[in-house]
């Protein structure tokens, strides 16, 4: 089964937009999303996956297509929008009944259904992918069941690594540990003790 993903649509649903100047944050966000997909899908599924991004935020000099960790990436350089390219890819697919199109855009969903391809809302698909990742993680020892959270600590750590903020996080955690050990700053209250003479 082939997979065709509306890149920015999934990016917004996943909530992994980077901070900083727009072009650099979009670049980092795209890379983080593609790495997440490559790790989540596995090599065989990734090889059958195409992710389409609008070209308005594409880095200069980037070709209209490339392969990232087995995933084909397309930029809609010669199109008004990624939707136009996605529709063209749906029309060109030789076996659309074996195609899954991931997008919350109703226009794209209608185009997929016209060709009898499966259309899946981005949020639904992303939730299923997260659930699948959790099922494949080693289970916690008995008595240490995790509470149902939107993101597990491993997921948060993954995204922090993707955006290069791991050292800042570790520094913050170490600072919190030190602050928890002694809630008062060094030297606090020494003037109250007086000088026994």
Q: DSSP labels for 122-135?
A: HHHHHHHHHHHHHH
If DSSP codes are grouped into helix, strand and coil, which group holds residue 44? helix
| Per-residue CA distances from 172 to 18, 84, 157, 185 (Å) | 19, 44, 13, 17
Strands 99-102 and 71-76: unpaired
Residue 69 reports pLDDT greater than 70: yes
Residue 134: φ, ψ to 5°: -65, -35
Residue 70 reports pLDDT greater than 90: yes
Residues 6+ apart with CB under 8 A from 123: 13, 104
Residue 78 reports pLDDT greater than 70: yes
Q: What is the per-residue pLDDT across 153-184, written as a single tens digit (0 to 9) for each?
A: 666 667 666 665 555 555 555 555 554 555 55
Whether the model pTM is above 0.85: no
How high is the pLDDT of residue 15? 81
How high is the pLDDT of residue 55? 79
Q: Which of the 8 DSSP states describes residue 116? A: T
Burial 39-75 (b: 16+ CB within 10 A, else e): eebeeebbebbbbbbbbeebeeeeeeeeebebbbbbb
CATH of 2-138, one of 3.40.50, 3.10.450, 1.10.3470, 2.60.120: 3.40.50
**2 near 48, Cβ under 8 Å?**
yes
| Mean pLDDT across 105-128 | 95
Mean pLDDT of the chain: 78
Tell me how far apart the terminal alpha carbons of the chain are, to the nearest angstrom: 85
Tokens 């391809």 belong to residue = 117
If DSSP codes are grouped into helix, strand and coil, which group holds residue 13? helix
Domain residue ranges of the chain, discontinuous segments joined by +: 2-138, 150-183
| Mean pLDDT across 118-125 | 96
């Amino acid at each position: 089964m082939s997979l065709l993903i509306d890149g920015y649509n999934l990016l917004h649903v996943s909530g992994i937009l980077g901070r900083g100047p727009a072009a650099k944050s979009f670049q980092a966000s795209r890379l983080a999303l593609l790495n997440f997909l490559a790790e989540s899908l596995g090599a065989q599924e990734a090889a059958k996956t195409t992710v389409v991004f609008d070209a308005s935020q594409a880095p200069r000099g980037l070709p209209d297509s490339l392969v990232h960790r087995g995933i084909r990436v397309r930029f809609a350089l010669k199109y008004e929008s990624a939707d136009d390219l996605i529709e063209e890819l749906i029309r060109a697919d030789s076996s659309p009944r074996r195609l899954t199109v991931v997008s919350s855009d109703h226009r794209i969903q209608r185009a997929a259904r016209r060709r009898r391809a499966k259309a899946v809302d981005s949020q639904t698909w992303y939730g299923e992918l997260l659930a699948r990742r959790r099922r494949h993680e080693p289970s916690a020892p008995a008595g240490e069941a995790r509470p149902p959270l939107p993101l597990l600590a491993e997921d948060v750590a993954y995204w922090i690594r993707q955006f290069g903020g791991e050292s800042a996080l570790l520094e913050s955690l170490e600072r919190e540990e030190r602050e928890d050990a002694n809630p008062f700053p060094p030297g606090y209250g020494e003037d109250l003790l007086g000088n026994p003479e």
